[in-house]
C-alpha cells in the first residue's frame, strides 16, 4: 500500500515552520482506497506570499486542530505504508519532525515522483507537478492545496505504475538503493560516478553554479552522508531542493583535499559554505621608507596587494613582536609607531634617537635590516611530500618564508631538494592563515614527510 501525501506549510524547512494543511491518499496500486485531509493551525503567522500562493489564510486555520491533535491519526495512516510525494524529502521531513515532536517516530520507505518521472518518462522539459499534469492531461482544479495536489500526484503515480516497464519503482524500494534519500533533481549516476578516494566535491545548482564545496577522505561516503537522515534544518532542505549535479576532484591525500577545499571556497564563494568564509582579521608587519630616508616598521591589517615582512593573527601579537625587536636591536619606538605621544623618545638610544634626527638614516637602517633578517629566520620554508593520486606520483605543498606558495604533484622519483626547481612543478595559489596553520600543523605531526631546504 502507498500513502500519497501533500502538505502546505508556512515556510521551507520543518524546524522553524508549521504545517497548514495535509492530505493523504491511501493507494493500493490501482486506485485510491481512502482519503484524509485537514487544515492545521500552525500557531504562527502564514506569510503573505504563501497566503497568495495557496489561498490558505490565518482566518481559515484559526479554528483548525493543532498538529498534535491529529498526529495519532496521521501516524497510523502512514505507518507501514510506502510514503509517496512529489519531492518526497520535503513532505517527509516536515511530517517526521512534527510527528516526532508529538511523540511518534515515523520510519517509512519513500518514493519521489520527481525522481521516478525522470526515469520512467525521460526527456520532458520540466518535472514540476503542474507541468507534468499539463503534459499528461491530469486535471488539478485545486493547485497548491493539499488534497488537489495529492490526488494529482496519485494519478501521476498510477501512470508510473502502468509505464514502469524497467522496474524503476521496485529498484528504488530495495534496501540498498540510494534513490529514497537523494535530492529530487540529482541523478543517481552522479553518485555512482563518485570515487572512494580523498578529494573534494562540488554541489551544482540548476544553472551549473557551484553552491557548496566539501572535502573528504572518501568522496562517495561523505557525499552520501549529506542525504542520510531527515534533518529538518534550512541548509539541508536547501541542499535537497537545489542540488542538480555533483562533480569532484580526486586529491592524493586528506591534506591536499583540505587545502584545495579552502582555496576553492575562496575562489568560488559558494552559497552554502559557512565556516571558511568568515572574515579573517589578520595582521602583518610592514616596512617602508619615509621622506627622510628612515626605514619604518608598522603593524597593520593584511592588505591584498601589499607584501608584508611577517604575518600574525592579531594586532596584539604584532605589537609584541615589534616591542621585542625594539629592545633587541635598539629601534626607535616612534618610528615603529609604538610610541605615539609627543613626549621624548623612550627608546634604547635616548638622546641620539633617529626620530629626533640625531642618527643618520644609513646607520639606523642597518639595525632595521638586522631586525628584519631576524624575523625572516623565524619564517619556515619547507615542503610536505605525501601520497599522490597514483602509485607513481607524490603530492607536494610548499610553504615559503611562512607563506603558502602552492601545491601540485611530482614524480615518485623526483628529489624535490631545490626550491626554485620545485616551483616549476607546483601551481601557485593565494594563501591565508588557515592554510598555513593546517600545513604547519601537519608537518609537526608527520615530520618524516617534511622536506627542508638548505640556504
Interval 82-101 mean pLDDT: 92
Interval 431-448 mean pLDDT: 88
Assess whether pLDDT exceeds 80 at residue 433. Answer: no
Query: Is beta strand 210-216 parallel, antiparallel or unpaired with respect to 199-204?
Result: antiparallel
pLDDT at 345: 80
pLDDT digits (tens, 9 = 90+) for 256-310: 999 999 999 989 999 888 876 665 657 889 999 999 999 999 999 888 778 888 8
pLDDT at 307: 81
pLDDT digits (tens, 9 = 90+) for 13-24: 787 899 999 999
Of residues 413 and 149, which shows the higher confidence score?
149
pLDDT at 434: 84
The H or E element spanning position 27 is strand 19-27
pLDDT at 455: 54
Interval 55-76 mean pLDDT: 95
Interval 443-455 mean pLDDT: 86
pLDDT band with cut points at 50, 70 and 90 for residue 452: confident
pLDDT band with cut points at 50, 70 and 90 for residue 226: confident
pLDDT digits (tens, 9 = 90+) for 156-209: 999 999 999 888 888 888 755 666 677 778 888 899 899 999 999 999 998 999
Of residues 141 and 247, which shows the higher confidence score?
247
Assess whether pLDDT exceeds 70 at residue 224. Answer: yes
Q: How far apart are CA 248 and CA 267, in angstroms?
A: 16
Mean pLDDT over all residues of the chain? 88
CA dihedral sign, ordered 217, 218, 224, 229: negative
In angstroms and rounded to an integer, the radius of gyration of the C-alpha atoms of the chain is: 32
Assess whether pLDDT exceeds 60 at residue 348. Answer: no
pLDDT band with cut points at 50, 70 and 90 for residue 352: low
pLDDT at 177: 60
Nearest to 55 by CA among 147, 134, 155, 154: 147
pLDDT at 356: 81
Assess whether pLDDT exceeds 60 at residue 63. Answer: yes
pLDDT at 144: 87
Assess whether pLDDT exceeds 90 at residue 402. Answer: no
Q: How far apart are CA 450 and CA 439, in angstroms?
A: 10
pLDDT digits (tens, 9 = 90+) for 27-54: 999 999 999 999 999 999 999 999 999 9
pLDDT digits (tens, 9 = 90+) for 137-166: 998 888 889 999 999 999 999 999 999 988
Assess whether pLDDT exceeds 80 at residue 3. Answer: yes
Assess whether pLDDT exceeds 70 at residue 454. Answer: no
pLDDT at 125: 85
Interval 112-116 mean pLDDT: 92
Interval 375-380 mean pLDDT: 79
Q: What is the DSSP letter of 117?
A: H
Cell triple for residue 144? 497548491
Contacts 24+ apart (CB under 8 A), 371-375: 371/297, 371/325, 371/328, 371/329, 371/331, 372/287, 372/297, 372/309, 374/325, 374/328, 374/329, 375/285, 375/309, 375/310, 375/321, 375/325
pLDDT at 185: 83
Q: Percent of the chain, pLDDT > 90?
A: 54
Q: Which of 84-98, 176-190, 304-318, 415-429 has the lowest mean pLDDT?
A: 176-190
pLDDT at 278: 61
Strand boundaries in 205-308, DSSP class E = 210-216, 245-250, 283-289, 295-301
Task: Pick from 67-71, 128-132, 338-342 the range whose average pLDDT is largest.
Answer: 67-71
- Active-site annotation, residues: 144
Amino acid at each position: 500500500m502507498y500513502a500519497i501525501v501533500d502538505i502546505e506549510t508556512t515556510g521551507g524547512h520543518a524546524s522553524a515552520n508549521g504545517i497548514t494543511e495535509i492530505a493523504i491518499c491511501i493507494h493500493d496500486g490501482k486506485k485510491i482506497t481512502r482519503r484524509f485531509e485537514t487544515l492545521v493551525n500552525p500557531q504562527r503567522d502564514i506569510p503573505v506570499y504563501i497566503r497568495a500562493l495557496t489561498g490558505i489564510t490565518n482566518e481559515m486555520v484559526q479554528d483548525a486542530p493543532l498538529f498534535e491533535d491529529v498526529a495519532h491519526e496521521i501516524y497510523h495512516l502512514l505507518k507501514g505504508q510506502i510514503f509517496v510525494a512529489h519531492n518526497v524529502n520535503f513532505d517527509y521531513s516536515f511530517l517526521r519532525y512534527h510527528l516526532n515532536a508529538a511523540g511518534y517516530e515515523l520510519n517509512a520507505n519513500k518514493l519521489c515522483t520527481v525522481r521516478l518521472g525522470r526515469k520512467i518518462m525521460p526527456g520532458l522539459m520540466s518535472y514540476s507537478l503542474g507541468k507534468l499534469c499539463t503534459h499528461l492531461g491530469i486535471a488539478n482544479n485545486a493547485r497548491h492545496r493539499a488534497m488537489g495536489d495529492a490526488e494529482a500526484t496519485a494519478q501521476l503515480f498510477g501512470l508510473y505504475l502502468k509505464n514502469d516497464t524497467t522496474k524503476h519503482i521496485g529498484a528504488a524500494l530495495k534496501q540498498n538503493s540510494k534513490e529514497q534519500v537523494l535530492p529530487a533533481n540529482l541523478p543517481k549516476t552522479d553518485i555512482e560516478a563518485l570515487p572512494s578516494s580523498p578529494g573534494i566535491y562540488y554541489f551544482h545548482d540548476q544553472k551549473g553554479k557551484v553552491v557548496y564545496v566539501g572535502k573528504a577522505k572518501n568522496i562517495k561516503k561523505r557525499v552520501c552522508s549529506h542525504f542520510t537522515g531527515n534533518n529538518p534544518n534550512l541548509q539541508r532542505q536547501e541542499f535537497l531542493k537545489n542540488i542538480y549535479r555533483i562533480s569532484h576532484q580526486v586529491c592524493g591525500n586528506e591534506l591536499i583535499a583540505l587545502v584545495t577545499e579552502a582555496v576553492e571556497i575562496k575562489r568560488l564563494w559558494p552559497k552554502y559554505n559557512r565556516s571558511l568564509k568568515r572574515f579573517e582579521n589578520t595582521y602583518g608587519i610592514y616596512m617602508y621608507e619615509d621622506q627622510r630616508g628612515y626605514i619604518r616598521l608598522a603593524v597593520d591589517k593584511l592588505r591584498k596587494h601589499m607584501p608584508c615582512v611577517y604575518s600574525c593573527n592579531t594586532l596584539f601579537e604584532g605589537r609584541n613582536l615589534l616591542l621585542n625587536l625594539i629592545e633587541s636591536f635598539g629601534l626607535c619606538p616612534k618610528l615603529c609607531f609604538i610610541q605615539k605621544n609627543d613626549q621624548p623618545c623612550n627608546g634604547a638610544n635616548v638622546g641620539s634617537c633617529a626620530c629626533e634626527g640625531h642618527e643618520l638614516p644609513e646607520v639606523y637602517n642597518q639595525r632595521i635590516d638586522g631586525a628584519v633578517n631576524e624575523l625572516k629566520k623565524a619564517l619556515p620554508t619547507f615542503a610536505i611530500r605525501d601520497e599522490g593520486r597514483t602509485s607513481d606520483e607524490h603530492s607536494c605543498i610548499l610553504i615559503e618564508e611562512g607563506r603558502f606558495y602552492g601545491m601540485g604533484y611530482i614524480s615518485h622519483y623526483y628529489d624535490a631538494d631545490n626550491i626554485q626547481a620545485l616551483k616549476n612543478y607546483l601551481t601557485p595559489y593565494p594563501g591565508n592563515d588557515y592554510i598555513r596553520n593546517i600545513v604547519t600543523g601537519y608537518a609537526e605531526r608527520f615530520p618524516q614527510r617534511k622536506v627542508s631546504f638548505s640556504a
